[in-house]
Chain A
Amino acid sequence: MNVTTKDAPAQATRRQDAAGQEMTGAEIVLQALRDNGVEHIFGYPGGAVLPIYDEIFQQDDVQHILVRHEQGAGHAAEGYARSTGKVGVMLVTSGPGATNAVTPLQDALMDSIPLVCITGQVPTTLIGSDAFQECDTVGITRPCTKHNWLVKDVNELAKVLHEAFRIAKTGRPGPVVVDIPKDVQFAKGTYHAPSPVIEQKSYKPRIQGDLNQIKAAIELMASAKKPMLYTGGGVVNSGPEASHLLRELVKLTNFPITSTLMGLGSYPASGENWMGMLGMHGTYEANMAMHDCDVMVCVGARFDDRITGRLDAFAPNSKKIHIDIDPSSINKNVHVDIPILGDVGLVLEDMVRLWRASSKKNDPEAMKSWWTQITKWRARNSLAYKPNSDVIMPQYAVQRLYELTKSHDTYITTEVGQHQMWAAQFYGFEKPNRWMTSGGLGTMGYGLPAALGVQIAHPDALVIDIAGDASVLMTMQEMSCAVQYNAPIKIFILNNQYMGMVRQWQQLLHGNRLSNSYTEALPDFVKLAEAYGGVGIRAEKPAELDDKIQEMIDVKRPVIFDCRVANLANCFPMIPSGKPHNEMLLPDEATDEAVANAISAEGRSLV
């Protein structure tokens, strides 16, 4: 793989040279990518982007990764962005190229991933004529982007592209689309370098928190008898420094800490104050502590319905502090007492400083009894499962995978479903940016292309997609891309032949009528891997699992690992729909009868 970092002076000179020059729209695109520090883009050519592809052919600063479907390009760019903190870039053609990009765009919007998607469009003269491969790209992508543009004037192109990068990565990050008609790609215009002075008047995200609010928060935190830190993806988005400050804050305050799915890794799973993930499939201790806490500090999370459960019984006796960069997240689902608008990292910096300076500290007796209570909840061991020596339990598979890969430079992606929850529960994340998963949108098929994107950014790392047999087939074609670019991703399939989470809900809600959740004709994943030119490995017995995983790690080629797991295992603990945090369904209580009756008639209509 050609992954070289450009030397800065050379780039600066080039930028100087480029500014003010006459060039074609396609040349402007490439120059703007260079000037925004882009080294890799994921894409798929087509009629309306051929001029840009022609430019790509004639340079080697920006490496293009050819995917097999535009959805794959989007998820790969998401994985790339999430694992590096940089903006992910995708390039697709008009019409079907753009519509195929919609899923990853919405995925990136919901999980706040910075993404720039460049789409080709039919020539301006043909727009609106139902031309071949025409679609209203800006219309279709308007609700699934942070912002989008149709560029009709080549002289606007450079400015729009620079603005696209700025909007994608600043404030609450998100996806943007720049739609470029083919005639604009051919037309000649003037290139402008990115402006150090921001001209835009309307878009000004606030990043520094209000000091008085932060002081009030510190005051409230110090008075807490049962405090709780609830963190989310915002900590990861804010950058490594935010995670560092979060750890510092936990050390100073000794508060227990939990996290959403998106925030895993910002506090280490091996940390003493770590309670595990919270929410629908969170741990007993995390959910009970959330329910009983008296002061909740929400850091870069958004009170999603997977987290809160029944809203009117969500942490009913707590005062809430909410740090978020997006004003619309404040008081959206849950009323908070002290909102702090700003970038998580900057606010945490103030918090740590003010906490250090403040003489007021939590009542030690109260903290002691809070931790005693937490220890009792922890002892409930809510992630326990019945070990089995004949079949591989999916939880066991993730545990072994963790044990055998934790000493490596490992990145984990997932698809969506039971395997995703087991990965979140049993894989210990020590650092941020190591965990790529589709949280908000819940996109099956995210993990394989995301792993590809991560591997392109980190060629020497061990990148594993913990997958389900159903999800992985949705974007399986990207295996071909992985082979083409020698990206040695490992697709670790927890194969139970079911859409496990769909089946689990059918058991919970629909009288165990397993309508269309069983895959009658799965491919032979080992042969499939070989057909793509990768390596296939299968494990069927617990006794052989470790050796097979080791074999997978040692192979420096793309691997599909068919891990045959207990078919009917379900994912617990679980807060059934419509129930509060303190009414969890725990694994040892989840008998067939309890499962069948767990959700009331009211809860049935919920998702």
Chain B
Amino acid sequence: MNAQQQPTGSAYFIQKETEAVETHTLSVLVDNEPGVLARVIGLFSGRGYNIESLTVSETEHEAHLSRITIVTRGTPHVLEQIKSQLERIVPVHGVRDLTVRARELGHDKPLERELALLKVRGREQDRMEALRLADAFRARVIDANIEHFIFEITGRVSKIEQFIAIMRPLGLMEVCRTGIAAMNRGLDD
């Protein structure tokens, strides 16, 4: 009966994980102090957890609080461990699993947005095509000269990935992505 509960990395790990792997978005409120990000990242690498996306910034200056948004993958059991292990870190105020909460609220997932900057070098037809597609994706041109554009695009991860894929044959030179910012609908904290 414990077969499903086996974490990878146990010295006695014999059977393969049988639970399905899920992607969850965690929101971690931390004291904004030196080293706090290293503690969080060190936990993930030290215990062999995945990080798919990580975003961090100070969110409440007066209270010295930062919010770290992490997209991670694991079985429900591993995700539960990740949450408990994060909560052990002294400057961590709390961990919210936004994906779990979104499901409770009847949604597929929380509201998630990402911002990306793309530098595209194009000539003639490609240049026109890039501009036209950017418009369709509601990407803004934030810099341009006769050789290239820099587009700014905001949206769901899938939209950004699609935009990047479309820009690639049109002379995509460089991409910079922020990682996910996420929040749930509704008034509850």
Asked if A20 is at the interface of the complex by the 8 Å CB criterion, the answer is: no
Contact among B10, B12, B38, B90 for A147, CB-based, below 8 A? B90
Residues of A within 8 A of B31 (CB): 202
Contact among B6, B30, B81, B84 for A311, CB-based, below 8 A? B6
A305 to B11, CA, bound (A): 7
Tell me how far the C-beta of B13 lies from the nearest C-beta in chain A, rounded to whole angstroms: 8
Determine if B12 and A309 form an interchain contact, defined as CB atoms under 8 angstroms apart: yes
Residues of B within 8 A of A578 (CB): 12, 14
Contact of A201 with B93 at beta-carbon distance under 8 Å, contacts A142-B39, A143-B46, A328-B87 already known: yes
Contact among A310, A327, A331 for B5, CB-based, below 8 A? A331
B-to-A contact residues, CB < 8 Å: 1-7, 10-15, 30-31, 34-35, 38-39, 42, 46, 77, 80-81, 84-85, 87-93
A326 to B89, CA, bound (A): 12
- List 26 A-B pairs, Cβ < 8 Å: A142-B42, A147-B90, A150-B34, A150-B35, A202-B92, A202-B93, A203-B90, A203-B91, A305-B11, A305-B12, A310-B12, A310-B14, A311-B2, A311-B5, A311-B6, A312-B1, A312-B6, A312-B14, A331-B77, A332-B81, A333-B2, A333-B6, A333-B7, A334-B2, A335-B1, A606-B12
Size band of the interface chain A makes with B: 20 to 34
Tell me how far the C-beta of B4 lies from the nearest C-beta in chain A, rounded to whole angstroms: 8
Determine if A311 and B12 form an interchain contact, defined as CB atoms under 8 angstroms apart: yes
Asked if A330 is at the interface of the complex by the 8 Å CB criterion, the answer is: yes
Determine if B35 and A335 form an interchain contact, defined as CB atoms under 8 angstroms apart: no
- Count A-B pairs with CB separation below 8 Å: 85
Asked if A577 is at the interface of the complex by the 8 Å CB criterion, the answer is: yes
A-to-B contact residues, CB < 8 Å: 138-139, 142-143, 146-147, 150, 167, 201-203, 305, 308-312, 314, 316, 326-328, 330-335, 577-578, 602, 606-607
Residues of A within 8 A of B1 (CB): 312, 316, 335
Determine if A327 and B84 form an interchain contact, defined as CB atoms under 8 angstroms apart: yes
Contact among B42, B85, B90 for A146, CB-based, below 8 A? B90
Determine if A328 and B81 form an interchain contact, defined as CB atoms under 8 angstroms apart: yes
Most buried by B among A147, A309, A316: A147
A142 to B15, CA, bound (A): 32
Residues of B within 8 A of A602 (CB): 14
Tell me how far the C-beta of A322 lies from the nearest C-beta in chain B, rounded to whole angstroms: 12
A311 to B11, CA, bound (A): 10
Residues of A within 8 A of B2 (CB): 311-312, 314, 316, 333-335
Determine if B84 and A330 form an interchain contact, defined as CB atoms under 8 angstroms apart: yes
Residues of B within 8 A of A314 (CB): 2
Closest 6 CB pairs of A and B: A328-B84, A147-B90, A312-B3, A335-B5, A305-B11, A202-B93
Determine if A142 and B38 form an interchain contact, defined as CB atoms under 8 angstroms apart: yes
Contact among B14, B38, B88, B93 for A328, CB-based, below 8 A? B88
Determine if B88 and A326 form an interchain contact, defined as CB atoms under 8 angstroms apart: yes
Residues of A within 8 A of B30 (CB): 202
Contact among B3, B10, B46, B90 for A305, CB-based, below 8 A? B10
Known: A312-B15, A328-B81; 6 extra A-B contacts, CB below 8 A, are A142-B38, A310-B14, A311-B3, A312-B6, A316-B1, A333-B7
Determine if B38 and A139 form an interchain contact, defined as CB atoms under 8 angstroms apart: yes
Tell me how far the C-beta of A215 lies from the nearest C-beta in chain B, rounded to whole angstroms: 24
Residues of B within 8 A of A139 (CB): 35, 38
A145 to B11, CA, bound (A): 23
Determine if B14 and A167 form an interchain contact, defined as CB atoms under 8 angstroms apart: no
Determine if B12 and A138 form an interchain contact, defined as CB atoms under 8 angstroms apart: no
Residues of A within 8 A of B46 (CB): 143
Q: Considering only CB atoms, which chain B residue lies closest to A205 in the complex?
A: B88
A143 to B46, CA, bound (A): 8
A276 to B89, CA, bound (A): 35
Tell me how far the C-beta of A539 lies from the nearest C-beta in chain B, rounded to whole angstroms: 37
Q: Considering only CB atoms, which chain B residue lies closest to A309 in the complex?
A: B12
Most buried by A among B2, B10, B46, B80: B2
Determine if B3 and A606 form an interchain contact, defined as CB atoms under 8 angstroms apart: no
Determine if A202 and B91 form an interchain contact, defined as CB atoms under 8 angstroms apart: yes
A333 to B14, CA, bound (A): 13
A176 to B14, CA, bound (A): 35
A577 to B11, CA, bound (A): 9
Determine if B42 and A333 form an interchain contact, defined as CB atoms under 8 angstroms apart: no
Q: Considering only CB atoms, which chain B residue lies closest to A606 in the complex?
A: B11
Residues of B within 8 A of A607 (CB): 11
Residues of B within 8 A of A138 (CB): 35
Residues of A within 8 A of B11 (CB): 305, 577, 606-607
Tell me how far the C-beta of B180 lies from the nearest C-beta in chain A, rounded to whole angstroms: 23
Contact of A333 with B34 at beta-carbon distance under 8 Å, contacts A311-B2, A316-B1, A328-B81 already known: no
Tell me how far the C-beta of B43 lies from the nearest C-beta in chain A, rounded to whole angstroms: 8
Tell me how far the C-beta of A261 lies from the nearest C-beta in chain B, rounded to whole angstroms: 16
Q: Considering only CB atoms, which chain A residue lies closest to B3 in the complex?
A: A312
Most buried by B among A139, A311, A316, A327: A311
Most buried by B among A201, A202, A327, A331: A202
A138 to B36, CA, bound (A): 11
Q: Considering only CB atoms, which chain A residue lies closest to B86 in the complex?
A: A328
Determine if A328 and B85 form an interchain contact, defined as CB atoms under 8 angstroms apart: yes
Q: Considering only CB atoms, which chain B residue lies closest to A150 in the complex?
A: B34
Q: Considering only CB atoms, which chain A residue lies closest to B38 in the complex?
A: A142
Contact of A143 with B42 at beta-carbon distance under 8 Å, contacts A310-B12, A326-B88 already known: yes
A511 to B2, CA, bound (A): 33
Tell me how far the C-beta of B61 lies from the nearest C-beta in chain A, rounded to whole angstroms: 16
Determine if A334 and B5 form an interchain contact, defined as CB atoms under 8 angstroms apart: yes
Determine if A142 and B35 form an interchain contact, defined as CB atoms under 8 angstroms apart: yes
Contact among A201, A330, A332, A577 for B7, CB-based, below 8 A? A332
A316 to B13, CA, bound (A): 16
A312 to B13, CA, bound (A): 9
Tell me how far the C-beta of A38 lies from the nearest C-beta in chain B, rounded to whole angstroms: 21
Q: Considering only CB atoms, which chain B residue lies closest to A304 in the complex?
A: B11
A310 to B39, CA, bound (A): 32
Q: Considering only CB atoms, which chain B residue lies closest to A176 in the complex?
A: B90
Most buried by A among B10, B12, B39, B42: B12
A577 to B80, CA, bound (A): 27
Q: Considering only CB atoms, which chain A residue lies closest to B91 in the complex?
A: A202
Residues of B within 8 A of A606 (CB): 11-12
A607 to B92, CA, bound (A): 33
Q: Considering only CB atoms, which chain B residue lies closest to A202 in the complex?
A: B93
Residues of A within 8 A of B91 (CB): 147, 202-203
A388 to B31, CA, bound (A): 63
Most buried by A among B1, B3, B93: B1
Residues of B within 8 A of A309 (CB): 12
Q: Considering only CB atoms, which chain B residue lies closest to A145 in the complex?
A: B90
Residues of A within 8 A of B13 (CB): 311
